[in-house]
Amino acid sequence: MDYYLNLLAWGDKGWGDELARGAMITITLALATLPFGVALGLLVALAKRSDSAVLRAAGTIYTTVFRGVPELLTLYIVYFGLQLGLQKAWKGLGLPGNIEMPAFVAGMIALGFVLAAFSCEVWIGALNSIHKGQREGAYALGLNKALAFRLVVAPQLLRVALPGLGNNWMVLLKETSLVSVIALPDLMFWTGRANVVTKEPFLFFGAACMIYMVFSVLSAWGLSRLEGRTNRGFVSGAGGTR
Amino acid sequence: MNWCQYPGYVIGNDALTNYGCRIFGGLGTTMELVAISVVLGSGLGLAIALVRLYGGVVSSSVAAAYTTFFRGTPLLAQLFLVYYGAGQIRPLLQDVGLWVYFREAFFCAAFTFTLNTAAYQAEVYRGAIQSVHRGQWEAARALGMRARHIFWKVVAPQAGMVALRPLGNELVIMVKSSAVASLVTILDLMGSTRFAFARSFDLMVYVFAALLYLLIVEIIRRVWDVIEQRLTRHLHTA
């Protein structure tokens, strides 16, 4: 027992501080990706609902591609593709030395693209749920398109979209484990390293699973609190007070 | 020239010509892996859903803990836990004669994916069964049917209609998630493509793999539309 506790201890001998550092990177990456992916998802949703056929087609292609290609493959393509592109641009500009794509940025972009494709569907559902009378009413009051969206549609949107976006967040949290393959030292990366050094896979991968579980359970709790808050103006049960 | 070299030959890409056969072979492995896991997982998932719905306090909370664990942790962590963990308990596995299976990476991946998809499918089945109105049970019981008959003849067909769409989504997610199998030495579509990239440093092989994944996903989606049309044909008005 002491042996296992020592392995998980802080400091040089144990892996506790490494795992904690990795967990911090996991959380940081997920939090950094979230606003980017969700905002991009809203833009794609608006494109898919726009009057322009070109925008609609572009939106459909975007979601089809990023929902159909494995996240791991997207990550590789973004990481190596951006790496090659950056290096070409660097050489093209005649700059000295080499440039490296930071793994964190590559992970953020790849996961953000995927998150956008999935959150787009949530946004579309939410946008469809808002009665068009709301927009017409806003126009009748003299609000322009942007103001009507910001003051009338957006506040209602979040309430409807929140459960779906919450699911997206839970998926994202788990998907961050993939960035360990492009050498970003997240939780999965450090547990893998600890496994190689100590030959204690059950202990370390079990610990990683537990940490991810804690994140998931905490998120679920936080999300239900948040949902309660966004629904506070609505009577629970028979479909609200609309 | 083999048929699997044609795509690379036609677009004049050496890497794809040289590694085309490996990549298509990997596609076969991916489909095999997904088919095995999803089929076995659906049986296990249905069993778990039934335990959660109709089991006692203890068994239904065990089932709930099972689904929470497999849905709350990354598939990659689960796969590593099984794949590397099997090596750690090798003597134990040898004693019970399971080592011959667990020493194969393919078996470890199929095993993990089965347990994982079972947890997700269990939630789908549970939701679908719960969506059937209890009046259906009561009416069937009033007709004198037994519980087993009610479940299979009355509840299951209606629940199947509800479960179909999320099950299709789960199948698509499995196809995509199965790419992590490449990280435990399996040469599935992702693994053989990684191999090809490591040898050729040509990004086109990744793009080609992405197209193949898209193709599978699109085929699944089309097939699912046909099945849904068929299962809900009584709801369409002429």
The full set of domains in chain A, from first to last, is 2-230 (1.10.3720.10)
Q: Give residue A154's pLDDT.
A: 86
Residue A11: other Cβ atoms inside 10 A: 9
Tell me: pLDDT of B51 over 90. yes
Q: Are A40 and A116 in contact (CB under 8 A)?
A: yes
pLDDT at A235: 63
pLDDT digits (tens, 9 = 90+) for B188-207: 999 999 999 999 988 889 99
* Helical (H) or strand (E) element with B132: none
pLDDT of residue B237: 67
Evaluate whether A44 touches A62 at the Cβ level (below 8 Å): yes
If one compares B9 and A43, the residue with the highest pLDDT of the two is: A43
- pLDDT per position as a tens digit, B111-141: 999 999 999 999 999 999 999 998 999 999 9
Q: Which of B14, B117, B214 is nearest to A77 (CA)?
A: B214
Say if the Cβ atoms of B190 and A68 lie within 8 Å. Answer: no
Each residue's pLDDT, cut to its tens digit, for chain A (242 residues) gives: 778 878 888 877 788 888 999 999 999 999 999 999 999 999 999 999 988 999 999 999 999 999 999 999 999 999 998 888 888 888 888 877 777 778 999 999 999 999 999 999 999 999 999 888 998 999 999 998 889 888 988 888 888 999 999 999 999 999 999 999 998 999 999 999 999 898 889 999 999 999 999 999 999 999 999 988 888 877 655 444 44
Extract the tokens encoding B171: 């199948």
Please determine, for residue B16, whether its predicted confidence score (pLDDT) is greater than 60. yes
Of B85, B104, B107, B114, nearest in space to B177 by CA: B114
- Among candidates B176, B183, B214 on the partner chain, residue whose Cβ is nearest the Cβ of A71: B176
Q: Flag if B203 and A80 touch (Cβ within 8 Å).
A: yes
What structural domains and CATH numbers belong to chain B? 25-186 (1.10.3720.10)
Residue A236 DSSP code? T
Whole-Å CA distances, A42 to B58, B215, B229: 43, 26, 31
Type and span of the H or E element at B238: none
pLDDT of residue A240: 45
Query: Using CA atoms, how far apart are residues B121 and B38, in angstroms rounded to an integer?
Result: 9
The 10s digit of each residue's pLDDT in B68-88 is 999 999 999 999 999 999 988
Please state the φ and ψ torsions of residue B237, each to the nearest 5 degrees: -85, 115
Candidates A72, A80, A209; nearest CB to B180: A72
Sign of the alpha-carbon torsion through B139, B143, B146, B151:
negative
The model's confidence at residue B17, banded by pLDDT at 50, 70 and 90, is confident
B234 pLDDT tier (thresholds 50, 70, 90): confident
Nearest to A209 by CA among B179, B123, B69: B69
Q: How far is A190 from chain B (nearest CA, A)?
A: 12
Token pair 């009507």: residue: A148
CB contact under 8 A, B214 and A69: yes
Instruction: Return phi, psi of residue B56, to 5°.
Output: -75, 180
Q: What is the pLDDT of residues B139-177, one digit of tens each?
A: 999 999 998 999 999 999 999 989 999 999 999 999 999
Contact (CB<8Å) A209/B209:
no
Percent of chain B predicted with pLDDT > 70: 99
DSSP B152: I
First to last CA, chain A: 59
What pLDDT sits at residue B23?
Answer: 93
Q: Is the dihedral of CA A221, B163, B118, A37 positive or negative?
A: negative
Q: What is the rounded CA–CA span in Å between residue B24 and residue A101?
A: 30
All residues at 6 or more sequence positions from A149 whose CB lies less than 8 Å from its CB, including other chains: none
Closest CA to A169 of A41, A26, A38: A38
Helix (H, G, I), strand (E, B) or coil at A10: coil
Report H helices in chain A: 2-7, 16-48, 53-68, 71-92, 103-129, 132-140, 145-147, 154-175, 187-198, 201-230
Taking CA atoms, what residue in B is nearest to A172? B74
Q: Helix B57-72 to helix B105-131 angle, to the nearest 10 degrees?
A: 120
Residue B208, token pair as written in the block? 């080609």
Distance of CA A93 to the CA centre of its chain: 33
Which of helix, strand or coil describes residue B104?
coil
Q: List residues of B whose CB lies inside 8 A of any A CB.
A: 68-69, 71-78, 80-81, 84-85, 87-89, 172, 175-180, 182-183, 190, 193-194, 197, 203, 206-207, 209-210, 213-214, 217-218
Task: Name every chain A residue with its beta carbon within 8 A of the beta carbon of B87.
Answer: 201
The closest alpha carbon to B50, from B35, B36, B67, belongs to: B67
Q: Are A79 and A182 in contact (CB under 8 A)?
A: yes
